[in-house]
Structure 1
């Protein structure tokens, strides 16, 4: 995966737009315009704060379908992604939770989004939705059929899940890349808002052997200076929201603080002051 080609930087910072409940989800409110308006506001907040890319995710559709989502979800997400692509000059990615990578790839192909996130590409994970099996063999063939160049960012030992086999991080990373053909990998903590350890990031980076490694959860303005130098990019959301609460909208001030801290973490030390001087709004 050529990060410079997609994100125009070797160390991209990707923000996440958590969509309000979509049609057919338990908390769907019946007003798609409200969902679109919120998505547009959050995308603009992320863009103005300086992120290098955005992932659109049906986060508030919980409890999630294990694999295939309802066609109404695909339709709504396609409409929203198309709107955001017209609004913000940033690469857009898609994550259809819990693990509907085929729908994500279809949306991306039709809207010309550049990448998708796949929670389980290879292996078997025990989750709150039940057992989820990776379907890399189907997904990669589907991408070939669609004829696009949508990049696949795949989680390794994804959060809110446990592997059925031995959780050997090095083997999991290598299998995801070499046998699942992921274009980049994502490493998270055990849950939303929980960061991976520096040791795990370093292990994953070594095992990836040149394939980009992203932090997938738990990065904030305080820990990013420690974690960012070990990886190639970061995906952030909870820490960018008002008061750091995942149910709140994106706060552009928090975004800019996080982006500044992340950029300082891999800038030459002689050119940048310490990240400790960065303050964060309450």
Structure 2
């Protein structure tokens, strides 16, 4: 049985992770840019976030809508690998990746090949109905066996629980705290709590419940603003932010240097170490929780 006491296995760290939404990739309905243009765009966005003071960066192919529910093509994996390698060379901070939809295996392979620190897995435990279709199988078992087989145990897997853009009637009798405990039992390296959709605020009662249910690092994955970030960081180890730091607060726009800097400034009051910055977040990503 998993010990559900709130004691933590990590130091009291607080981090902010900025999203780079890679342009629509080749072969997707809105794909217009060449691979080199995609690389240039992503590197520019990553540098803007770094210069604003973000602790870590996550790359995601969100512009590839509508997403496939699996069967992600080689062209997507190849372009994401090229983008990740370029961003890795351009910025010296922890970097993660998510490949939509349900592309945790592909993301893990790209992270391993390009030297990234973490992946975000959207269907790690329990089945659910996502906007791209029914995700019938939890990814944890196959994903962690794949990680072991390619020698990528150093790449951490942060798992969404009760993920956004999905219906959870299938698991309506399982609350989010139980999902967090299941993710811990299935050897996730951290759990992510989100709102119902991109840009939607996290239910802070759910965040508190998850914080009490698991020893794993807890992240928020949507809806953070300058008004909410300090409060969120009172219970979360890190906040992932995309929409707020974009021009006009819209995820599909470019990163706005002023909004990004304002977000960093708002988060500083929530830090629980004197000078966390990049070193503290790197420590979070490099230190593996007990039992994994």
TM-based fold match above 0.5:
yes
Offset of residue 225 of structure 1:
2.1
Contact 2:14 2:272 in 1 (8 A): no
Residue aligning to 1:277: none
Aligned equivalents of 2:31, 2:233: Cα separation in 1: 36
Aligned equivalents of 2:38, 2:9: Cα separation in 1: 32
Aligned equivalents of 1:145, 1:223: Cα separation in 2: 41
Residue aligning to 1:84: 87
Change (3 A) 1:230 1:59: same
Residue aligning to 1:192: 198
Greater RCO structure (CA 8 Å; 6+ sep): 2
**1:168 correspondence with 2:175:** yes
Secondary structure, counterpart of 1:170 in structure 2 = helix
Offset of residue 2 of structure 1:
7.9
TM alignment of 1:1-282, pairs within 5 A: 10-132=13-135, 133-148=137-152, 149-163=154-168, 164-166=170-172, 167-178=174-185, 180-208=186-214, 210-266=215-271
Aligned equivalents of 2:95, 2:229: Cα separation in 1: 22
Contact 2:88 2:95 in 1 (8 A): yes
Aligned equivalents of 2:110, 2:84: Cα separation in 1: 8
Secondary structure, counterpart of 1:75 in structure 2 = helix
Aligned equivalents of 1:187, 1:68: Cα separation in 2: 26
Deviation string, structure 1 residues 31-54 (Cα, Å, up to 9, x no partner): 222211211110011000111111
Residue aligning to 1:272: none
Offset of residue 211 of structure 1:
0.7
Aligned equivalents of 2:213, 2:33: Cα separation in 1: 46
User: Normalising to structure 1: TM-score of the pair?
Assistant: 0.89
Offset of residue 12 of structure 1:
1.5
Contact 1:224 1:262 in 2 (8 A): yes
Secondary structure, counterpart of 1:218 in structure 2 = coil
Pairs aligned (count):
262
Offset of residue 200 of structure 1:
0.9
Secondary structure, counterpart of 1:265 in structure 2 = coil
Aligned equivalents of 2:9, 2:97: Cα separation in 1: 18
Aligned equivalents of 2:116, 2:235: Cα separation in 1: 27
Offset of residue 181 of structure 1:
1.1
Aligned equivalents of 2:39, 2:10: Cα separation in 1: 28
Aligned equivalents of 2:225, 2:93: Cα separation in 1: 21
Which consecutive unaligned segments of at least 5 residues does structure 1 have? 269-282
Offset of residue 222 of structure 1:
1.0
Deviation string, structure 1 residues 115-149 (Cα, Å, up to 9, x no partner): 00001101001111111131211000001011121
Offset of residue 254 of structure 1:
1.0
Deviation string, structure 1 residues 226-255 (Cα, Å, up to 9, x no partner): 221011111001000011122210012111
Secondary structure, counterpart of 1:230 in structure 2 = coil
Aligned equivalents of 1:67, 1:158: Cα separation in 2: 16
Cα RMSD (Å): 1.6
